[in-house]
Structure 1
Amino acid sequence: MIALSLSGGGSRAIAFHLGCLRALNHRGVLQKISVVSAVSGGSVIAGLYAYWNNSFEDFHERVLTLLQRGLHQATARHLLSIKVLPRVVATNLISRPLNTIAKCIGREPPLPRWSSRTDALQEALHDVFGSLNLSQIGRPGLDVVFNACELRTGTAFRFGNHSTGNWRLGEIKNNDVHVAHAIACSAAYPLFLPAFDREYIFMKDGVQQKQRVIITDGGIYDNLGITCLEPGRDPRYSLHSYAPDYIICCYAGYGQFAGKKIPFGFYSRTQAAFESVFRKAQDGSLNRLHMHKRARNINGFILPYLGQQDRALPFRPSDLVQRHEVIDYPTDFAAMDVNDIERLSRRGEQLTNILLSHYCPDI
């Protein structure tokens, strides 16, 4: 079994992953992949691949179109729509004040967050994915997992074409979830987008129960999307567990901090703190991949890494898109210039080809 993980990182990640998939398709590896686990921006491109059984060329064109349009304008348009705006206003005028009062007197918030900017993002994704349900996978034999994080329990919350939920709460009954909602949950970066506040009917140990969940960006828990792919996971504690022979982990991260920024204000300090925690968690995940390889739990893995230090590559082609050319591209969902898309995707393609040739030539 070959497993593929696609990290978070907004449109930058989508463009980088597009190049990685281009290399995998050219080498005949993409068709052998059994499961795709994705986070945030990686979830967007994973959804575009998994839920249409079209040619790679058609898929490639759909991704390019999405990147050039971005999601910002569509999100802003939906935020002002009759479907979203009244609920956002009601949340700010009713739910938020009452919840603040409840907090002051030591009570739990009595009302949910009815709507927010994140619902507008969900509507923008609905423009792309329509009313597709998670179970309506487009490519036979392929599993997909969209990774999110549930804040009440502090655990992973995973949306999949077979089941959705987590080990604490159980499975959502009938897996009745739209693809657009799953991807929006996976991409709701908490510094900019409020978490989804929802109620679902869960099934656990034969018992049906309605539970309130607070779901945010999967990068909070695992920005690489590899934890559900690691061998040896106990199905009792994970709704999604796989035993791959090879793991291809495509990571659109920044790499080492340059140390030039000064986190002075509240926002910059908070963002730097988030990024430091993310990096530590990701370092632990990558270390476990090496441990699994040494213990022969997997046959091999590769890590196409946008922030890869070029000097550490096993070999470098003369036309390599260098790290410094792409490393500072932001991680939002703004519209992208064609040249930026080409540089990011080309680097993903080159790194994937280099690493496959050197570390897993027989895959």
Structure 2
Amino acid sequence: MIAKLKLNNKKIDLATKKVGLALSGGGYRAAFFHLGVLARLAELDILKHINVISTVSGGSIIGALYYLKLKERLSQEQPMQHSDYINLIMNLEGDFVRGVSKNIRSKIFLHPLNELYSVFINREKILGNLYAKYFRYSNVSMAQLKGTSGAENLPKLIINATLLGNGGHYFFSDENMGQYIDPKIVNSKGIIHYSEHNQIFLKDAVAASSAVPGLFNYVNFKVGTEKHKVVDGGAFDNLGIYALQKEVCDLMIISDGSRQISEQQLIPRKRLSVLKRSYDASLELNKKLMLETSENFFHIHLREGHPQVDPEVSDALSRLRTDLNNFNKFESWSLSNYGYLLTDGISQYLNTPNSETGEFVFKNTDNTVLMQLPNRKFKNKLWSGEKINTAGSNSILQTLNQLKLFLATFLVFFLIPIYFVFFAASGIIPGNNPVVNSYIIFVMYLIGFMSIYLMIVSSSGDLVHYLDYGLSKLSHFILSVIYIFLILATILLILSLIIVGVVKII
């Protein structure tokens, strides 16, 4: 942890300061890291002193969930105690892990119904709906977020994004939205009150904050006669510091789940790979500028080292993917535990009471030992998590993502020949059976059409960018229908083959 302080106190009394907490971007990797940071802050009884929470992208996913849980608890009559904050984060851990296990990325890009649905509704809207469903955001609007009961004790929540129109910072808070007045930003939209526009929902604000360019389009918000096109907050400030500066916080606690860009010799000659690398370079520059212009902060960075963590493990954690897919227990526990360990260093600067201990799942004893003394299996689990996120990787998951096929559908093409070989070799299905031959021919046609479809899609990427928007939507609709038909036909084919096999056995 890095401390940059210009306060005179030897031990900082948080009760006399306006304290801001920044949760950086970085997908689920950052979110799991933030979970560990929140856990240790709860144990040190620091969370009750947080006045402003500023979130970006992955930080917005877990930050919004924490805010809702805190709001629910503060609405009760009993005042919150030290142990209540710890129990709240323990409950947050369970709900967040369950939400992550739903594998939102696959549901957005691989689910055939969502493929069809995205013809009429943007994927960014689908992303918001999935956040609401799996992270229990419900359909609460930003105007309703603060409520009345216990609102005076709630910190201010700021969800950060970037406005494409002028390239400036854009935010959604529990009080208002828009842009802070800043002479450096051209045509700033200023502060917009929800009384003028009350149809902004929490799920859509989080979706806008995490709409990474290249994977998602912008999220469109209609404000009066204008349309504000908003994308990932990391494009402007991936740390969430800018909002805390504008809120004039005396002290900032920055949880940084991003990774420092490192030299990369092998960069695949692919548009997405080049785009991602360029985007990472921009994030790194913005991050350095934000930190250089800030003072009085604690910077808890995923890229730091810790004496209780093997250097190879800490390096692997910083390289884990930022995708919205499922994380195995080694990845999630290690990320959270690492954030937890790094946050402990903050206690030497603050006037805090004796800490209490929470029974967090990520503090699993065996996993903690493996972080310090990793075995081969543990290393492979972490290193494979990096490969899934590496451009040009030959991992099965990336291949499936490129082909847009369900795992079940993908396996079908391997199970069919195995099925025939097994039953034919056993003499159950005669080789000259016309029914079986017709099935084989049908399968060949299916594979042939699928190959042609994939070839056209992969080779016409440049052309698609120049097609009329309406024509693109129409072709998307037709291809989605064909895709669903192929899946259903394959399922029926398998069922038919099973029936034929059973009949032959009988």
Verify same fold: TM over 0.5: yes
Instruction: Find the residue that maps to 2:90 and give its secondary structure.
Output: helix
What letter is aligned with 1:63?
F
- In structure 2, the partner of 1:219 is 234
RMSD: 2.3
What letter is aligned with 2:327?
M
Say which of 122, 128, 132 aligns to 2:140. 132
**1:313-324 alignment, distance < 5 Å:** 316-317=307-308, 322-324=313-315
What letter is aligned with 1:169?
K
Q: Does 1:37 align with 2:57?
A: no
- What is the rounded CA distance, in whole Å, between the counterparts of 2:131 and 2:44 in structure 1? 31
**1:1-363 alignment, distance < 5 Å:** 1-52=18-69, 53-54=72-73, 55-76=88-109, 80-81=113-114, 85=116, 88-89=118-119, 115-127=121-133, 128-135=136-143, 136-137=145-146, 140-166=153-179, 167=181, 168-170=188-190, 171-174=192-195, 176=198, 177-201=200-224, 210-230=225-245, 241-289=246-294, 292=295, 300-308=296-304, 310=305, 316-317=307-308, 322-354=313-345, 356-358=346-348, 360-362=349-351
What letter is aligned with 2:288?
D
Q: CA deviation at 1:85?
A: 3.8
Which has a greater percent of strand? 1
Structure 1 residues 214 and 78: alpha-carbon distance in aligned structure 2, compared to 1, 3 A threshold: farther
Structure scoring higher RCO (CA < 8 A, sep ≥ 6) equals: 1
Q: CA deviation at 1:287?
A: 1.3
What letter is aligned with 1:305?
H
Q: CA deviation at 1:321?
A: 8.8
Contact 1:172 1:200 in 2 (8 A): no
- What is the rounded CA distance, in whole Å, between the counterparts of 2:98 and 2:260 in structure 1? 28
Q: Which moved more, 1:116-125 or 1:67-76?
A: 67-76
What letter is aligned with 1:130?
S
Structure 1 residues 261 and 32: alpha-carbon distance in aligned structure 2, compared to 1, 3 A threshold: farther
Q: Deviations over 1:112-131 (max 9, x none)?
A: xxx32212111101213111
Q: CA deviation at 1:263?
A: 4.8
- What is the rounded CA distance, in whole Å, between the counterparts of 2:291 and 2:25 in structure 1? 15
Q: CA deviation at 1:149?
A: 0.7
Q: Deviations over 1:80-124 (max 9, x none)?
A: 25xx845x435xxxxxxxxxxxxxxxxxxxxxxxx3221211110
> Where in structure 2 are there 5+ consecutive unaligned residues?
1-17, 74-87, 182-187, 353-506
Q: CA deviation at 1:156?
A: 1.1
- In structure 1, the partner of 2:81 is none
Q: CA deviation at 1:322?
A: 4.0
Larger gyration radius, structure 1 or structure 2: 2
Q: Deviations over 1:139-187 (max 9, x none)?
A: 6331100001110122111000000112422305425211001000000
What letter is aligned with 2:267?
I
Contact 1:256 1:307 in 2 (8 A): no
- In structure 2, the partner of 1:96 is none
- What is the rounded CA distance, in whole Å, between the counterparts of 2:21 and 2:274 in structure 1? 33
Q: CA deviation at 1:48?
A: 0.4
Instruction: Find the residue that maps to 2:160 and give its secondary structure.
Output: strand
What letter is aligned with 2:125?
D
- What is the rounded CA distance, in whole Å, between the counterparts of 1:150 and 1:328 in structure 2? 28
Contact 1:146 1:183 in 2 (8 A): yes
| TM value normalised by structure 1 | 0.77
What letter is aligned with 2:119?
V
What letter is aligned with 2:177?
T
Instruction: Find the residue that maps to 2:341 and give its secondary structure.
Output: helix
Q: CA deviation at 1:79?
A: 7.4
- What is the rounded CA distance, in whole Å, between the counterparts of 2:49 and 2:107 in structure 1? 35
Instruction: Find the residue that maps to 1:5 and give its secondary structure.
Output: strand
Which has a greater percent of helix? 2
* Number of residue equivalences: 302
> Where in structure 1 are there 5+ consecutive unaligned residues?
91-114, 202-209, 231-240, 293-299
Q: CA deviation at 1:350?
A: 0.6
Structure 1 residues 331 and 27: alpha-carbon distance in aligned structure 2, compared to 1, 3 A threshold: same
- In structure 1, the partner of 2:469 is none
- What is the rounded CA distance, in whole Å, between the counterparts of 1:79 and 1:7 in structure 2? 32
Contact 1:252 1:305 in 2 (8 A): yes
Contact 1:15 1:345 in 2 (8 A): yes
Contact 1:149 1:215 in 2 (8 A): yes
Q: Deviations over 1:189-210 (max 9, x none)?
A: 0110011133222xxxxxxxx2
Contact 2:22 2:54 in 1 (8 A): yes
Contact 2:33 2:335 in 1 (8 A): yes
Q: Deviations over 1:265-296 (max 9, x none)?
A: 3222221111111110111111122xx3xxxx
- What is the rounded CA distance, in whole Å, between the counterparts of 2:194 and 2:252 in structure 1? 30
- What is the rounded CA distance, in whole Å, between the counterparts of 1:215 and 1:5 in structure 2? 20
- What is the rounded CA distance, in whole Å, between the counterparts of 1:186 and 1:270 in structure 2? 19
Q: CA deviation at 1:253?
A: 1.3
Q: Deviations over 1:41-70 (max 9, x none)?
A: 100111001112342322222122222333
